[in-house]
C-alpha cells in the first residue's frame, strides 16, 4: 500500500469536477468490453472518499450487461471520469478513472491487469 492522497480531477471540457482520496501507487487495467474501448484505468475507493464537485446535471449514466456498474460520462465532452458500483460485500464503491486526475503521472502508476472480460 502506498499512501492516501487527495486529488482533484475532471472531464475534458471541465463541466464535471471531482475530488477523491486515494492511493495512486497502482490502478486496475481491466480487459472488459467497456474498459478496453474507453481506455479506462481505475482506482476504486469507498464512496465516502469520492466527492463530485461539479457537473451532476451534466452526467449521462450508461449501464450494460448485468447493469451493476454506473458508467458516468460527461454529456458534452464524452469523457468518463468515474464509475459507481457495489463491491461483493455490499460496500458502495467509486472507480476513479486515473486518466482524469489533474496532472496525473501515468508513468508512476503500476497497472495491474484485471480479467473483467471473463466475469
Q: Which residues bind Zn ion (CB under 5 A)?
A: 11, 13, 15, 74, 76-77
Task: Kindly state the smallest distance separating residue 55's Cβ from Zn ion, in Å.
Answer: 7
First to last CA, the chain: 26
Task: Kindly state the smallest distance separating residue 118's Cβ from Zn ion, in Å.
Answer: 32
For Zn ion, the closer of residues 29 and 100 by Cβ is 100
For Zn ion, the closer of residues 26 and 76 by Cβ is 76
Task: Kindly state the smallest distance separating residue 45's Cβ from Zn ion, in Å.
Answer: 21
DSSP code string of the chain: ---EEEEEEE-SSSS-EEEEEEETTEEEEE-SHHHHHHT--EEEEEGGGEEEEE-GGGEEEE--TT--SEEEEETTT--EEEEEEE-TTS-EEEEEEGGGBTT--GGGSEEEEE-GGG-
Task: Kindly state the smallest distance separating residue 97's Cβ from Zn ion, in Å.
Answer: 12
DSSP-assigned letter for residue 78: -
Amino acid at each position: 500500500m502506498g499512501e492516501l492522497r487527495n486529488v482533484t480531477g475532471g472531464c475534458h471540457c471541465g463541466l464535471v469536477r471531482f475530488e477523491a482520496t486515494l492511493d495512486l501507487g497502482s490502478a486496475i487495467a481491466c480487459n472488459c468490453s467497456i474498459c478496453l474501448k474507453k481506455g479506462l484505468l481505475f482506482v476504486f475507493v469507498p464512496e465516502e472518499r469520492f466527492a463530485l464537485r461539479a457537473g451532476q446535471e451534466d452526467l449521462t449514466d450508461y449501464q450494460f450487461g448485468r447493469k451493476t456498474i454506473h458508467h458516468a460520462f460527461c454529456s458534452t465532452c464524452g469523457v468518463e471520469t468515474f464509475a459507481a458500483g457495489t463491491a461483493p460485500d455490499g460496500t458502495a464503491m467509486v472507480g476513479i478513472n486515473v486518466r482524469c486526475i489533474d496532472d496525473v503521472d501515468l508513468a508512476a502508476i503500476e497497472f495491474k491487469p484485471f480479467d473483467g472480460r471473463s466475469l
